[in-house]
Amino acid sequence: MEILSNLAEGLGALMAPVPLLVILAGVCVGILGGAMPGISPSMAVALLLPFTFGMSPAMGLVMLCAIYLAANYGGSVTAVMINTPGTPSAVVTAFDGYPLTRNGKAGTALGISLIASVVGGFVGIAILVLFSAPLARFALKFWPAEYFALAILGLSTIASLGGGRWLESFIAVLLGLLLNTIGLDPLSGVSRYTFDVLRLYDGFSFIPVLIGLFALSEVFSGIESGEIGHPPAAPDKERSPWPSLRDYMKLKFSMLRAGVLGTVIGIFPGAGGTIASFIAYDVEKRLSKNPAEFGQGAPAGVAAAEASNSASVGGALVPLLTLGIPGSSSAAVLIGALMIHNLQPGPELFTKHPEIVNTLFSSLLVANVFILALGLLGARLWIKAALIPKRLLYPLIFAFSFIGSYAVRSSVFDVGVCLVFGLVGWLLSRAKFPVSPVVLGMILGTMIEKNLRATLMMGGFSLFVQRPLSLTLLLLALASVAVPALRERRAARKGIL
Amino acid sequence: MKRIIAVLCIASLAVLGASAAFAAYPEKPIRVVNYVGPGGLMDVTSRKFVSIAKKFTDATFVVENREGAGGLVGMQAVLEQPADGYTVFAATTSNIAKVLTSKKDVDEFIWGFEWIAMLMKDPECLIAAKDSPLNTWEAVFKEAQEKKGAQLWTGPAAGGNDHLMAMKVWEKSGMSAKWIPYNTGPEAMMALLSGQGAVYVGNPADIGGREGFTIVAIARKERSPKFPDAPTFTELGIQGLEDEAMWRGFAMRKGSPEEAMAWWEDLLKKVAADPEWREFLEKDGIDVVDYGRPEFTAQIKKDIEDSTHYLKQYGLIK
């Protein structure tokens, strides 16, 4: 009850023109930033950080959190419409969102990604407000052994990503893992495969690789197939209907499950929204009655991906507010914002400045409502993206890919990286290799290597089995690979008999 | 994107700076290049410095972020600019260690700069979990002896400033332990809280606002007025750790005009005396200094010597 009255108090403080405008501005910037390939949520937050220096601490934080939340939704728009994830966590949204658009169901894809984002966002905020203390204690149970096991569990999702193409998926994920070895060794700082190129010290920047693999490769394939001249399939209102309330209700459990998963995984620094969306997608596919639909345009796939990555925002704020430790790179920028206002992130914030925390919680709720409203308004506009003739769209994607890649570190080198990975992605998809396992390998590679080696330094391989949580996660990972494989074998044997 | 920020900043600051005085330096905007992202420690510090400096000068500052390769990208970006005093590098202790561990040319990456203004000394300290049995130096030391080198210490990157501090403590106290590096300081603190290690090496500000931590030893001559309960190493009977700190400061390309360097030294003296600046740093237990070229250069020399010695001893460089 106290929580509710605190929230009400916070909401009261927000119901004035200035705070509402601040949230609205944050949501607008967030959606646009998220939709721009090359601007990840953490960059969108960082970009606007200097503007908050002149605001009151509460308003500054409110705006940055609104951007953070909205950017996680914004990434899905371009993922769905042009197969270009605007943010790393929207990679999974593209798996089913883009096929839906190609089948003329852009309305369905946009509608579900919006509603799932909003539902996921609410789930994340609710868990943050109600359970942040016990969740923070749970987060402390995670040692490198558990982080390693979590990453392995994430990796095991390739078993269902490749859609039956086991060998190709396996090779693709290995490619991702190998690419990760470039750069400074995460534990000893020794440089590996950098050839003394300064820009390679941190390995490949993730965003240019992402843009190359998804956006540019799509353009190359389009050029190759000669699609350019053809008029696009017009998704008019009739053929691209907005989902009905019943469609959404069918997905309610998917959204809730993905929301909870996203929040919980979002708590862990270094894991975050991207891994959450891969795992939530995998879970939904396994629970689905027609798993074959996934990857071809399954609404539940879009819902799972979006609900989990939006929910991870709430999760990432749990350790920030309870322990003073950021759960994601965006949350790390929020710490900078707190510091510039002479506020200490951490439990002291609750005791010394409860009004700021209450305002923050309530503002997340308001921001979520704004995302819903702006998303509904914007959808009419975004759906037109499918109408843009390819001969205009392709140069646009090209231009945005280059700008986006350059923007990450103001580096021309990254533009080259984007181009090279565009070619790699194109070659991979020509050879019928799935591209997403490469991304998964790149996300998880460092996490796996670092935590494996840290665990070995701490006490050797036995730690993985001695620690119950790590053992459970590893067994889950094993089962998630073994069960489908065994089932397939049994089915094959039956077929022979 | 950073260009966009830069342009926006210039545009907004140009309005403020329109009444700029007719001094010879600075007659155009000064770029302050950071090697961390917006919101990073040095970024916050440079922005605060710039905002306070505006009380004393009409000069226009543009804070930029050039991240990458642990600061080497930012350093190189400054070294590629003309030595005219209009591009300043916002440096911290970790830049020195980074140049050494990545085997870059010291003459180019360190002595290619003139070290003009050192702003502060953030004392290094050992932090433990309050509820752990190892919450005093004696307990930590005793366990380390029993474990014969298997005790775990947590902190950020290997070869960084905090790791160096750990090596110094091990050598001076005659113990040994293992360093487990984490992505960031806060992650290493979370690891400490979850019982993964015995000690975290960092700075007093790290425990501010966070519950459950205590400082077991601080590398200062006297106790910190902000953290009076934390004993110094000298009190604990360990000599040679009276002045170990993470510093932050500004550097300019070698060969920059004397006038520009002197202007910065003078500006620092004014900012260092400003109450708002002192409050900003001192609330975190950071010591405000106003070192000009001679003292800052001496500090850099000591850092290079120390880093080389310990990195060699523990096999991080040859």
B80: containing domain: 30-122+246-314
List, edge to edge, every strand of the sheet that includes B30-34: B61-65, B30-34, B87-92, B245-253, B113-123, B287-291
Q: In the Cβ-directed half-sphere of B255, how many Cα atoms lie within 13 Å? A: 8
Q: Is residue A241 part of a domain?
A: yes
Q: How many angstroms away from the CA of B152 is the closest CA of chain A?
A: 7
Q: Does A345 touch chain B (CB under 8 A)?
A: yes
Cβ <8 Å between A410 and B2: yes
B43 touches B31 (CB < 8 A): no
Same domain (yes/no): B261, B113: yes
Which two structure tokens, joined as six digits, stand for A375? 């998303």
pLDDT-based confidence at residue A426 (cuts at 50, 70, 90): very high
Same domain (yes/no): B106, B168: no
pLDDT at A329 over 90: no
Same domain (yes/no): B134, B213: yes
Instruction: Over range B225-254, report the average pLDDT.
Output: 95
Q: Model confidence over B17-67: pLDDT tens digits?
A: 443 434 589 999 999 999 988 778 899 899 999 999 999 999 999 999 888
What CATH number does residue B58 fall under?
A: 3.40.190.150
Same domain (yes/no): B136, B178: yes
Burial track B156-171 (b if 16+ CB lie within 10 A, e otherwise): bbbbbbbbbbbbbbbe
Same domain (yes/no): B225, B129: yes
Q: Model confidence over B216-233: pLDDT tens digits?
A: 999 999 999 999 999 999
Q: How far apart are CA A266 and CA A280, in angstroms?
A: 12
Q: Is residue A85 part of a domain?
A: yes
Q: Is residue A276 part of a domain?
A: yes
pLDDT, position B19: 39
Q: Is residue B273 part of a domain?
A: yes
Burial of A241 (0-12, 13-18, 19+ CB in 10 A): middle
Same domain (yes/no): B286, B200: no
Q: Is residue A196 part of a domain?
A: no
Q: Model confidence over A52-62: pLDDT tens digits?
A: 878 888 999 99
Q: What DSSP line would sit under A37-72, residue for residue? A: TT--HHHHHHHHHHHHTTS-HHHHHHHHHHHHHHHH
Q: Model confidence over A160-211: pLDDT tens digits?
A: 776 667 888 889 999 999 999 999 888 887 889 988 888 898 888 888 898 8
How many domains are contained in chain B? Answer: 2
Instruction: Over range A262-266, report the average pLDDT.
Output: 93
Same domain (yes/no): B56, B75: yes
B99 touches B67 (CB < 8 A): no
Same domain (yes/no): B118, B250: yes
Cβ <8 Å between B47 and A334: no
Q: Which amino acid is it at A491?
A: A
pLDDT, position A162: 65
B38 touches A76 (CB < 8 A): no
Instruction: Among B236, B262, B279, identify where a domain stops.
Output: B236
Cβ <8 Å between B48 and A319: no
Element (H, E) at A486: helix A468-496
pLDDT, position B22: 43
Which two structure tokens, joined as six digits, stand for A452? 């494996």
**Angle formed by the axes of helices A468-496 and A144-156, to 10°?**
20
Which two structure tokens, joined as six digits, stand for A113? 């990604």
Cis peptide bond N-terminal to B26, omega within 30:
yes
**Mean pLDDT over all residues of chain A?**
87
- Sort out which chain B residues have CB atoms less than 8 A from A342's CB and list them: 280, 283
pLDDT, position A347: 80
Instruction: Over range B270-287, report the average pLDDT.
Output: 94
Q: How far apart are CA B220 and CA B243, in angstroms?
A: 5
Among A224-233, A340-349, A373-382, A473-482, which is the least confidently predicted range?
A: A224-233
Cβ <8 Å between B210 and A332: no
pLDDT at A388 over 50: yes
Same domain (yes/no): B149, B229: yes
pLDDT at A22 over 70: yes
Q: Is residue B196 part of a domain?
A: yes
Q: Out of A46, A201, A270, name the one closest to residue B69 (CB).
A: A201
pLDDT-based confidence at residue B315 (cuts at 50, 70, 90): confident
Give, in degrees to the nearest 5, the angle at Cα A75 between A69 and A78: 150
Q: Model confidence over A211-257: pLDDT tens digits?
A: 899 889 888 988 888 766 554 555 554 456 788 888 899 999 999 99
pLDDT-based confidence at residue B244 (cuts at 50, 70, 90): very high
Beta strand pairing status for B113-123 and B245-253? antiparallel
Same domain (yes/no): B250, B117: yes
Q: Is residue A215 part of a domain?
A: yes
pLDDT at A298 over 60: yes
Q: Model confidence over B113-136: pLDDT tens digits?
A: 999 999 999 999 999 999 999 999
pLDDT, position B7: 57
A98 touches A284 (CB < 8 A): no
pLDDT-based confidence at residue A156 (cuts at 50, 70, 90): confident
Cβ <8 Å between A407 and B1: yes
Q: What's the Cα-to-Cα distance from A284 to each of A65, A253, B85, B148, rounded to whole Å?
A: 28, 10, 59, 49
Q: Does A210 touch chain B (CB under 8 A)?
A: no
As a whole-number percent, the residues of chain B with pLDDT over 70 amount to 93
- Dihedral, A282, A287, A292, A297 alpha carbons, nearest 10: -70
Q: Out of A49, A50, A142, name the one closest to residue B194 (CB).
A: A142
pLDDT, position A223: 87
Q: What is the pTM of this model?
A: 0.87
Q: Out of A46, A324, A340, name the one closest to residue B210 (CB).
A: A324
Which residue does chain B place closest to A268, by CA atoms? Answer: B187
pLDDT-based confidence at residue A459 (cuts at 50, 70, 90): confident
Q: Is residue A179 part of a domain?
A: no
How many domains are contained in chain A? Answer: 1
- Sort out which chain A residues have CB atoms less than 8 A from B193's CB and list them: 140, 323
pLDDT, position B258: 95
- Nearest residue to A71 (alpha-carbon basis) of A330, A268, A259, A325: A330
A138 touches A438 (CB < 8 A): no
Q: Is residue B60 part of a domain?
A: yes
- Nearest residue to A243 (alpha-carbon basis) of A112, A369, A73: A112
Tell me the count of A-B CB pairs closer than 8 A.
Answer: 141
Same domain (yes/no): B139, B108: no
pLDDT, position A229: 53
Element (H, E) at A191: strand A191-192
Task: Choose between A90 and A2: higher pLDDT.
Answer: A90
Same domain (yes/no): B129, B37: no
- Sort out which chain A residues have CB atoms less than 8 A from B280's CB and list them: 342
Return the bridge partners of B246, or none: B122
Q: Is the dihedral of CA A246, A315, A37, A150 positive or negative?
A: negative
Which residue matches tokens 């593209």? A94
Q: What is the CA radius of gyration of chain B?
A: 20
Cβ <8 Å between A53 and B280: no
DSSP class of residue B160? S
Instruction: Over range B145-161, report the average pLDDT.
Output: 92
Q: Which amino acid is it at A419?
A: L
B139 touches B133 (CB < 8 A): yes
pLDDT, position A210: 87
Return the bridge partners of A5, or none: none
List, edge to edge, every strand of the sheet that includes B199-202: B178-181, B152-155, B199-202, B125-129, B213-218
Q: Is residue B19 part of a domain?
A: no
Q: In the Cβ-directed half-sphere of A39, how many Cα atoms lie within 13 Å? A: 25
Q: Model confidence over A344-365: pLDDT tens digits?
A: 778 888 888 888 999 999 999 9
pLDDT, position B116: 97
A168 touches A427 (CB < 8 A): no
Instruction: Over range A148-155, report the average pLDDT.
Output: 91
Q: Model confidence over B64-112: pLDDT tens digits?
A: 988 888 899 999 999 999 999 999 999 999 999 999 988 889 999 999 9
Q: Is residue A363 part of a domain?
A: yes
A227: containing domain: 1-143+203-436
Tell me the Ramachandran region of residue A38: left when phi exceeds 0, alpha when psi lies from -120 to 50, beta otherwise.
Answer: left
Return the bridge partners of B218, or none: B125, B232
What CATH number does residue B198 fall under?
A: 3.40.190.10
pLDDT, position A384: 79
Q: Is the dihedral of CA B283, B181, A335, A326 positive or negative?
A: negative
Q: Is residue B25 part of a domain?
A: no
Q: Is residue A478 part of a domain?
A: no
Reported ipTM: the value is: 0.82
Instruction: Over range A378-384, report the average pLDDT.
Output: 84
Q: Model confidence over A201-210: pLDDT tens digits?
A: 888 888 889 8
Q: Is residue B80 part of a domain?
A: yes
Q: Is residue B142 part of a domain?
A: yes
- Nearest residue to A6 (alpha-carbon basis) of A353, A305, A481, A267: A353
- Nearest residue to A271 (alpha-carbon basis) of A471, A443, A416, A116: A443
Q: Is residue B309 part of a domain?
A: yes
CB atoms within 10 A of CB A249: 9
